[in-house]
Amino acid sequence: MAKLYFRYGAMNSGKSTGLLQAAFNYEERGQRVLLAKPATDTKGERDVVSRLGVTREVDVLIGAGDSVEALFEEAAATAPEPVACLLVDEAQFLQPLQVDELLRLAVEHGVPVLAYGIRTDFRTHAFPGSRRLLEIAHSLEELKTICRCGRKALFNGRRIGDTFVFDGDQVAIDGVEVHYESLCAACYLQESGGRLA
């Protein structure tokens, strides 16, 4: 039976790089993969973007109200060979019902689904897609990165300029004004003045 995998980590833990490496591994063995990401992730527009400079266009861009199963079936029908794996970047931006569809794709369609994303936002609150993946994925794997102090990073601090902020919309994509820093619990608490939410 195929499985739904959730590979999660703080910002800069190599999630997109890992996804691109998984795609390369499948294709090196002559197997077809589909890459998908939520339309919410506007960084790179239709591309998966790795910090290492590697990019690749996705096959499926998932809108907030889209059926992942319908998009998968449409994309899978475009080539004669079957899909060996579905790789989903920025899975935290999926809706819970879309995550349920990922499980059905794995179980009912027999296609392994590897979803990559961050667990919590800059306020330490779970993203709805991540929460659902943590609840139903067959396999959970934490991808690790380090904080500026050298300890394991758990949280994502949001900065505007040089100032950390702890209020605002859950989603703000990296850009000119907004940046993120992976922080351990101690550094996060120090920057937030001891608050977690």
DSSP state for residue 30 in the 8-state scheme: T
140: number of CA atoms within 13 Å, CB side?
12
Question: How many whole angstroms separate alpha carbon 188 and alpha carbon 195?
Answer: 9
162: left (phi over 0), alpha (psi -120 to 50) or beta: alpha
Q: Which candidate in 27, 90, 141, 142 is catalytic? A: 90
151: left (phi over 0), alpha (psi -120 to 50) or beta: beta
Question: 32-38 and 83-88 as β-strands: parallel, antiparallel, unpaired?
Answer: parallel
90 is an active site residue: yes
Known catalytic residues are 90
